[in-house]
Amino acid sequence: MSDDNKIIAIASGKGGTGKTTVATNLALVMRDVVFIDCDAEEPNAHLFLNPKITAREDVEKQNPVIDESLCDYCGKCAEFCQHNALAVMGKKMLFLPHLCHSCGGCAIVCPRGAISEKAVKIGTVERGKAKGMDFVQGRLEIGQPTAVPIIKQEKSYISPGRTAILDCPPGTSCPVIESLRGADYCMMVTEPTPFGLHDLSLAVEMVRGMKIPYGVVINQADIGDEKVKEYCRRENVDVLAEIPYDRKIAEVYSRGGLIVEELPQYRKLFEDLAVAVTRSIKPEARINPR
């Protein structure tokens, strides 16, 4: 990664905290960025940025194909598979495609060369322009179990020398880990509620384990209680910004608008947030300790 190529991931412990709201408005004040919607299971940033899509491509994974005329049912492939996608059932091989991680190991260990691979479409990546930014989003096919290969393909379009804003999926699952991998900074959006605090604590442990510098944005900061702020003080977590509960913000969001365009009184909040994050992205940036 180039020293000038900065990746800012916007994450959250739970859904519904305002992660996409923060990501889209932050991208707009930072201007010349690459915006990537990594929530391939339910992308929604396009509802606010209204991109013009100019390119689409399929994303595929490799599934094993077993030639049972060559197979002697030795079970070495099933023993190798750590995800239990293969099983020997007497004189029959059972393949469970939704458990397969496409590592190709089964084909390598098969002593009779009975396993080959075929490509299976699992989703698409769409690219275009939105409000002067490069825009990328992924879409997982219905019924497919994991968006990880799609997220990898999306991130391949991060342009050298430019800042990338990654709108991550909610939670702390594998797609979130893949979205965060290689990020220079993680901004976690939370809300001052018991659920927000619980899931924020899980997300903090996740980014600490990945050794990614991070900070918190508290959305609807003047509702709920003070426990999120108390947690941040106790755990030495930087609170980057507090967005108040404001009916006008909810109205703008509900019609697919952007806060910094329709409510200019909040533009400085996001500009200050951009400055705070940019200053935090340094080679010597500290990892928030426990």
**Domains in the chain: boundaries:** 7-50+131-280, 61-120
Q: For residue 48, give the H/E element and its range.
A: helix 46-49
The contacts of residue 208 (CB under 8 Å, 6+ apart) are: 287, 288, 290
Strand partners, 60: 121
Domain 7-50+131-280 - what CATH class?
alpha beta
Which residue in 250, 227, 251 sits closest to 237, CA to CA?
Answer: 227
Q: Which amino acid is at 277?
A: V
Cα–Cα distance measured from residue 218 to residue 222, given in angstroms and rounded to the nearest whole number: 9
The per-residue pLDDT for 287 is 47
Cα–Cα distance measured from residue 124 to residue 139, given in angstroms and rounded to the nearest whole number: 5
**How many C-alpha atoms does 252 have within 13 Å on its Cβ side?**
18
The CATH T-level fold of domain 61-120 is Alpha-Beta Plaits (3.30.70)
The per-residue pLDDT for 289 is 44
Long-range contacts of 263-270 (CB under 8 A, 24+ apart): 267/29, 269/241, 269/243, 270/25, 270/26, 270/28, 270/29, 270/241
The per-residue pLDDT for 224 is 84
The per-residue pLDDT for 5 is 67
User: 163-167 and 133-140 as β-strands: parallel, antiparallel, unpaired?
Assistant: unpaired
The per-residue pLDDT for 4 is 58
The residues of the chain scoring below 70 in pLDDT are: 1-5, 282-290
Q: Are 14 and 189 in contact (CB under 8 A)?
A: no
The per-residue pLDDT for 284 is 47
